[in-house]
Chain A
Amino acid sequence: MTSSPPVISVPIHLESDVLVVGAGGAGMYAALEAAKGGASVILADRSLIGRGGATVMAQMTVAAALGEQTPDHWEHHFADTLAAGRGLCDERLAALLCEDGPQRLREMDAWKVGWAREDGHIKQAQAPGHDRPRCAYVDFLSTGPAVSKTLRTQLNNASGIRRIGDLSIVDIALRDGEACGATALHLPTGQTVTLAAKAVIIATGGLTGLYRRNSASSNMGGDGYALALRAGADLIDMEFVQFFPIGHLAPRLVGMDPIMWDPFRYKLGGKLLNSEMREFEMDYATKDARSDGTYKLTRDLATYAITKEVEAGRGSPAGGAYLSFQHVPEAEIRKAFGPVVDRLAENGIDLAQRPVEVAPIAHYHMGGIRVDEMMQTGVPGLYACGEAVGGANGANRLSGNAITEAFVFGARAGRSAAERAKQGASMWTADAAQPTLDLLRSASKRDAPNPAAIIVKLQAVMADDVGPFRTDVKLRSAISAIAQLKADIGNTPFASAKAFDPVLADWLDLRNMLAVAQSVAVPALARTESRGAHQRDDHLGLDEAWSVNQIVTVSDGDITLRKVMPTTGKAAA
């Protein structure tokens, strides 16, 4: 049963020098820098500007060698980043992140983000995996919202940046293998939109929305990776998905980000206990020389520790571990977290009285779009920044590096894109949008599976079989399940209405999510070792022969894999 297509057939056409896709921290920074470089900019987001994505959700810390708390140098931060990345970091990108980080944090400080201060200096906390206190933050658990608000204010004050929310980019437009713009769907009206641009920056964040339990916004299904893949760009390190070990599990907590417990641990300690009410982190600490004796396990090890305790039958009732602050006096909890304590009380949580339950939760993706030190992909005119970029963090990201890379890579991508726009004429041709317009026009109301339910199925497949602990059997099962879901959605979009159609949005999401899920599962199956966030129960331990990055590309709809040696050497400043 079909009816006439709901999508209006004459697209609206817009032009700019630079198109930025995604208005989280990286995208907003990219837009600001591109405009500073003289480019006219369109900043598009499928949600509202500066509201969706991961940045606004970050309640944690931002790492940079500011040397405010204690003497520091970016090379120390670099050494810690490489150590956490377990041999797979792109050293050029990691060096750029660490070297430019302090400058960007100071710029944000000048823009009045409000980094927490102590005795007149920016306060820096010690986070796991760092050799010294290096992580700035905004009290109380307000880092992400403060960062987003600060960047939104800068955008408001900047000239040359047109912001468009509710605009979902469906495909990058290509001409002779170069990016020349994009094709989009305006969600409130169902109107198609074509965008001509001399340079396109993908700043869409990560893929944690592929997992059942995740700390992401609803729009973090990896769409930028799929855009890049279909445009012909390489993806790198896609098998490395970071699980945040102590995501909130129980009791049900609303109005707060599930990753909120880390700052509590920095400030107050906090004990991870199993069902015997025994601390167990130290049982696992000796597995890694860097964590030995410090109680500060990096995220991959802490995820491992909690999962193994649960498997051994020593989990908490909801299937995680207890996190206890009962040893901390009530007044001290209040002093450290002020109004947050009241928000917890509204959820029936009293930390001085009872522990909460926590468990690993999909949090960040180390892999992503492969770029050079100018943030350009292999496709001329196509750039990426922020979490959408792969390589800087190797097999495991150090805490605090995500917002830093959003700033640093965002700024770099904006500058590079503005440079390119200065040099070239528009390559736009209406033909470049045609395949995508045809796809959108083919959308129809018909008897079809519920796409929202298919997304839930995919999240279950990824959580159960492509989670932090993997086996050959599970991964093969996931790959065939993903193929089946692909067949279920077919090649013709489902639709239900013209205005704000969540069915069409879900179908377009699934088109992306399924491509990205496959791009994670296939290299995960190939990597027959355990390293960082990729742990194979059937291939324990790190294998030196696997000190390589895997590159995912797509040709004729099929994924291909190849291995490359990690990129070494520092980036040109």
Chain B
Amino acid sequence: MKATLSIQRGALGEAPRHDAFDIPFEHGQSILDGLRAIRRSMDPSLAFRFSCINANACKECMMLIDGKVDYACTVRLKEGMTTLAPLPKKALIRDLVTEIAPPDERLMSRS
């Protein structure tokens, strides 16, 4: 089976672009599996957050999946196109990475 991930790219202040990646997948694999496969075999500069990989414990891989806020580690890959974008209400850092830490756990934004 083949999935296409269309991913919004770019850092804060850059014009967003969309890159599409075709990836082979097996039934049951997650969007996060697909993103990690893209980094391994196509583009290691693709930025996204994740820590626990599979357990849905760290809650870091939240993003916009086909327009809906969800976890990349629990949504399954599907045949055809899936669009991925950073969380719309969080400050963009780069690609799918946004500023999701509470303000008092950041280096910069202490008031």
B47 touches A48 (CB 8 A): no
B101 at interface by CB-CB < 8 Å: yes
Interface centre among B36, B51, B76, B99 (most CB of A within 10 A): B51
Residue pair B12, A254 in contact (C-beta under 8 Å): no
Contact of B53 among A51, A218, A456 (CB under 8 A): A218
A252:B28 contact, CB within 8 angstroms: yes
Whether, in the assembled complex, A290 has its beta carbon less than 8 Å from a beta carbon of chain B, the answer is: no
Q: How far is the CB of A572 from chain B (nearest CB, A)?
A: 36
Complexed CA–CA distance, A258 and B54 (Å): 8
Interface pair B55/A503, CB less than 8 Å apart? no
Q: Mark A249-283, 1 if CB is under 8 A from B, else 0.
A: 00111111110000000000000000000000000
B45: A residues at CB distance < 8 A: 496-497, 501-503
| Contact among B44, B46, B58, B99 with A188 in the assembled complex (CB-CB below 8 Å) | B99
Is A502's CB under 8 angstroms from B44's CB? yes
- Of B27, B58, B60, which is in contact with the most chain A CB atoms at under 10 Å from its CB? B58
Q: Which of B39, B57, B60 contacts A502 (CB 8 A)?
A: B39
**Dominant secondary structure of chain A at its interface with chain B:** loop
- Mask, B21-35, CB within 8 Å of A = 1, is 000001111100000
Give A258 to B73 CA distance when docked, in angstroms. Answer: 13
A144 within 8 A of B: yes
CB pair B54 A189 closer than 8 Å: no
Interface size class of B (residues with CB under 8 A): 35 or more
Q: Which B residues are CB-close (under 8 A) to A254?
A: 28, 30, 54, 56, 73-74, 76
Does A229 count as interface, using CB distance less than 8 angstroms? no
Given contacts A165-B105, A188-B97, A217-B52, whether A502 and B58 have CB atoms under 8 Å apart is no
- A56 close to B107 (CB less than 8 A): no
Query: Which residues 336-363 of A sit at the B interface, judged by CB distance below 8 A?
Result: 347-348
- Contact in complex: A500, B47 (CB < 8 Å): yes
Is there an interface contact between A217 and B40, defined as CB atoms closer than 8 Å? Answer: no
CB pair A217–B53 under 8 Å, yes or no, is: yes
| CA distance in complex: A193, B106 (Å) | 13
Q: When chains A and B are docked, how far (Å) is the Cα of A370 from the Cα of B74?
A: 39
Q: In the complex the two chains form, what is the Cα distance from A451 to B45 in whole Å?
A: 10
Interface membership of B93, Cβ < 8 A:
yes
> What distance in Å separates the Cβ of A284 from its nearest Cβ neighbour in chain B?
29
Check A47 for interface membership: any CB of B closer than 8 A.
yes
In the complex, A496 Cα to B46 Cα: how many Å? 9
What is the CA–CA distance of A463 and B58 in the complex, to the nearest angstrom?
A: 25
Q: Give the residue of A12, A145, A258, A499 whose beta carbon is less than 8 angstroms from that of B11.
A: A499
| Residues 489-508 of A at the B interface (beta carbon under 8 Å) | 496-503, 506
B111 within 8 A of A: no
* Interfacial chain A residues near B39, Cβ < 8 Å: 450, 452, 502
- Kindly name the residue among A163, A188, A258, A497 whose own CB sees the greatest number of chain B CB atoms within 10 A: A188
Q: In the complex, are the beta carbons of A57 and B94 less than 8 A apart?
A: no
Q: Indicate whether A425 reaches chain B with its CB closer than 8 angstroms.
A: no
In the assembled complex, the Cα of A496 lies from the Cα of B28 at a distance in Å of 31
How distant is the Cα of A166 from the Cα of B91 in the complex, in angstroms? 15
How far apart sit A254 and B70, CA to CA, in the bound complex (Å)?
14
Contact A186 B107 (CB under 8 A): yes
- In the complex, residue of chain B having the shortest beta-carbon distance to the beta carbon of A164: B107
In the assembly, what is the distance between CA of A164 and CA of B107, in Å? Answer: 6
> In whole angstroms, how far apart are the Cα atoms of A279 and B8 in the complex?
51
- Which residues of chain A have C-beta atoms less than 8 A from B101's C-beta? 48-49, 165-166
Of the candidates B36, B44, B51, the one whose C-beta lies within 8 Å of that of A451 is: B44
Q: Is the Cβ of B58 less than 8 Å from the Cβ of A12?
A: no
B29 and A252 contact, CB distance less than 8 A: yes
Given contacts A56-B57, A218-B51, contact A188 B93 (CB under 8 A): yes
CB <8 Å contact, A499 and B94: yes
A217 to B59 alpha-carbon distance, docked (Å): 12
Distance between A516 CB and nearest chain B CB, rounded to angstroms: 19
Q: B81 contacts the other chain (Cβ, under 8 Å)? A: no
A450 CA to B38 CA in the complex, in Å?
A: 11
Complex CA–CA separation, A404 to B93 (angstroms): 37
13 contacts between A and B (CB under 8 A): A49-B105, A164-B107, A188-B97, A219-B51, A253-B28, A254-B28, A254-B73, A256-B56, A257-B52, A497-B94, A501-B47, A502-B45, A503-B44
A interface vs B, CB < 8 Å? 12, 47-49, 51-53, 56-57, 59, 144-145, 163-167, 186, 188-189, 191, 193, 217-219, 251-258, 347-348, 450-453, 456, 496-503, 506
9 nearest interchain CB pairs? Answer: A252-B28, A496-B45, A257-B55, A52-B51, A255-B56, A452-B39, A255-B74, A51-B58, A499-B94
